[in-house]
A and B are shown apart, each in its own frame.
Chain A
Amino acid sequence: MSQNPTTAATLEVAGAASRRTRRRLLAILGFVATVLLTFLGLLAITFFIGRVIPIDPVLAVVGDRASTEVYEAARVAMGLDQPLPIQFVHYVLNVFSGDLGQSVSTGRSVVEDLSRFFPATLEMATIGIIIGVVLGVPLGVIAASRQGSIIDQIIRVVGLLGYSMPAFWLGLVGLALFYARLRWVGGPGRLDIFYDGLVHPVTGLLLVDSLLAGEIEIFWNAVTHLVLPASVLGFFSLAYIARMTRSFMLDQLSQEFVTTARVKGVPERLVIWRHAFNPIRVPLITVIGLSYAGLLEGSVMIETVFSWPGIGNYLTTALLNADMNAVLGSTLVIGAVFIFINKISDVLYRVLDPRAR
């Protein structure tokens, strides 16, 4: 009974610490579990789309003039004679071992195709998000700090247009205006035809590869081709980012500590960029993450318009050729990247914002 009070206190502290670690561990485990479950859900949906909806997936592969033997052989080879749950398990195992099947239209494996086309999409979406962040965040801050000003009105209009303008239409109008009429930018594709295939792909990102090879001329040509599609994508992320920045900033600027800072005589510029902007950096990261993921989706349309050889273009070509393996493979990859970015920005938010812990 004569327990030393200090030891008891230390024990309690240690207990609290271990409880905290355990809670954190549980949180991490829970996070991994949700991500895995979401991926499994994505797989279930693509499986459902590929195997359950089509009346006869075998027919789609062998064609309707195949003989009964060929048909049966294909059916067994595709594992379609097995019950659906077993088929699903096979499907999941295949995907996790990196097998997405063969593409009917290119004759290569879907994984090979996707890794070939992904860098082009990545390059465009990345430049797009950079444009969106570099312009969107300052514009949103200015719009919030000068409510009702011209910039505020412009941000409103841009925000609304971002919600109501078809991306493919903006791309086409951009092509008609800046390429056909004004000749400011390059046309569809990643390079002019006579530069095609001159640079050895190392990373697949043309801007990087051409610099690595020391081909400045090709680099500039790639820039002129990239600038329009990336700007169109950037416009949509700008619209979203500026709108969200504005709304976050308005929340902050109405807080009492901002009034206090102003009363103390802190210069307005410091009030805005230090007192009001610092707290919104964390939610902004989530917004930017979501916007980046959205750009990957938006690039499907833009790539079709600009004949951009990325995943989006691959997906739409496959759609029109009824190349289901390629369709499902691209859906899976875009979906997985989308989910991944979503979850990562969610985690970043929790790690960086002390209030969300």
Chain B
Amino acid sequence: MSTRDWLLEDSPHSRLQANAGRAYRVFTALLRNPLSVLGGLIILILVLTALLAPWLAPYSATGQDLANRLAPPSGAHWMGTDELGRDIFSRVIWGSQITLTIVGLVALISAPLGLLLGAVAGYFGGWTDRVLMGITDIFLSMPKLILALAFVAALGPGINNAIIAIAITSWPAYARIARAETLTIRSSEFIAAVQMQGASPLRVIVGHVLPLCTSSMIIRVTLDMAGVILTAAGLGFIGLGAQPPLPEWGAMISRGRTFILDQWWVATMPGFAIIIVSLGFCFLGDGLRDVLDPKSEGK
């Protein structure tokens, strides 16, 4: 039996085989959509760039070369140099580490938090639901960026606080989704079966409700990542995110503001990196939604 037959077998013999088969089906369905392949490639390149930055970057991210400041793009400096003679291309490459860290940590903090709150609200219903969803709605009806700005203002500038602030403003959407999913799962028979076997609410939620919410959560998180990148860059641009000399893309654009009229490349180049990576997450998220959630295709 070939690996492919094993993966696509109609009656899997183990949980591992079932999961692997499902993952394989999703993967092949994704491969049929050119845009999601492009998105996946962009994300893959981002991850590889972040991992291999020390070997990929031709120059140091912080090494100054004042004799060569504000040089236009050329063969030696593909994206030119900034006001301290630092190679912008190398800084963009090193910056991918920061972007990936922000995106990853925000997803790791806000998605499980929203998932848990939403599942608890949906599973218990009643007052728990009303209070938790009331709080969620208040957060949802507020402008995200402004809220993040205010939080960073109180916590103090810096990349860690920026991550916390963005996570605080992005969990409510996940709580809403998790609650809606939980409401439909809650009344199904297999949940009743588990409950009658004496499973505690914690066990039911963690073991049986949350796993079923993950696919819609993955779609939403991927689609939201573009927004997270933009917010993080915005915080960096205002001067509240990553602090110099860290090569954060938004902060780099902010440094280039002064020279935008004559040395356009300083501010422009990091912007292209932001756009490409955000587009990558959009493409991949759209593709994932079409594969995992065919109901809402084309919306």
Contact = CB atoms under 8 A, between A and B. Distances in A.
Interface of A: 37-38, 41-42, 45-46, 49-50, 53-54, 160-161, 163-169, 172-173, 175-176, 179-180, 247, 250, 293-294, 296-297, 300-301, 304-305, 315-316, 319-320, 322, 324, 327-328, 330-331, 334-335, 338-339, 342-343
Contacts of B134: 37, 41
> How would you classify the secondary structure of chain B's contact residues: helix, strand, loop or mixed?
helix
Given A46-B150, A169-B267, A163 B226 contact: yes
Interface stretch (B2-10, B65-73, B81-89, B274-282): B274-282
Contact of B138 (A41, A163, A179): A41
A160 B253 contact: no
Nearest to B272: A169
A335 B250 CA distance: 24
A172 B253 contact: yes
Instruction: Rank and list the top 3 A-B pairs by shortest CB-CB distance, nearest first.
Output: A41-B138, A164-B278, A169-B271
12 contacts: A41-B138, A163-B226, A163-B282, A168-B234, A168-B253, A176-B267, A179-B261, A180-B262, A297-B144, A297-B145, A327-B153, A331-B147
Interface of B: 134-135, 137-139, 141-147, 149-155, 226-227, 230, 233-234, 237-240, 250, 253, 256-257, 260-262, 264, 267-268, 271, 274-275, 278-279, 281-282, 298-299
Contacts of B274: 164-166, 169
Contacts of B256: 172
Given A160-B282, A169-B267, A296-B143, A38 B138 contact: yes
Contact of A304 (B238, B268, B282): B238
Contacts, number: 146
A49 B150 CA distance: 7
Given A168-B237, A172-B267, A335 B299 contact: no
A331 B150 contact: yes
B146 A334 contact: yes
Contacts of B250: 166
B282 A319 contact: no
Contacts of B279: 160-161, 164
A176 B261 CA distance: 5
B142 A338 contact: yes
Contacts of B149: 300, 315-316, 319, 327, 331
B261 A339 contact: no
A168 B260 CA distance: 12
B83 to A, nearest CB: 15
Contacts of B260: 172, 175-176, 180
A293 B237 contact: no
A304 B261 CA distance: 16
A342 B274 CA distance: 29
A49 B153 contact: yes
A216 B232 CA distance: 42
Given A37-B138, A160-B279, A164-B226, A180 B238 contact: no
Contact of B145 (A53, A161, A172, A300): A300
Contacts of B137: 38
Given A41-B138, A53-B155, A164-B226, A300 B146 contact: yes
Contacts of A322: 153
B198 to A, nearest CB: 39
A46 B268 CA distance: 35
Nearest to A168: B237
A188 to B, nearest CB: 10
A301 B232 CA distance: 12
Contacts of B150: 45-46, 49, 327-328, 331
A54 B150 CA distance: 12
A164 B275 contact: yes
B264 A176 contact: yes
Given A166-B237, A301-B237, A327-B149, 11 more contacts: A37-B134, A45-B142, A45-B147, A49-B150, A180-B260, A315-B146, A319-B152, A320-B239, A327-B150, A331-B150, A335-B143
A19 B153 CA distance: 50
A66 B279 CA distance: 51
Contacts of A176: 260-261, 264, 267-268
Contact of A164 (B253, B261, B282): B282
A173 B268 contact: yes
Most chain B C-beta atoms within 10 Å of own C-beta, residue among A49, A165, A172, A322: A172
A42 B147 CA distance: 10
A230 B97 CA distance: 34
B153 A319 contact: yes
A197 B130 CA distance: 52
Contact of A49 (B151, B226, B227): B151
Interface centre among B138, B139, B145, B271 (most CB of A within 10 A): B138
Given A46-B150, A163-B278, A250-B298, A338 B141 contact: yes
Given A180-B260, A293-B143, A305-B257, A164 B230 contact: yes
A297 B268 contact: no
B153 A38 contact: no
Contacts of B298: 247, 250
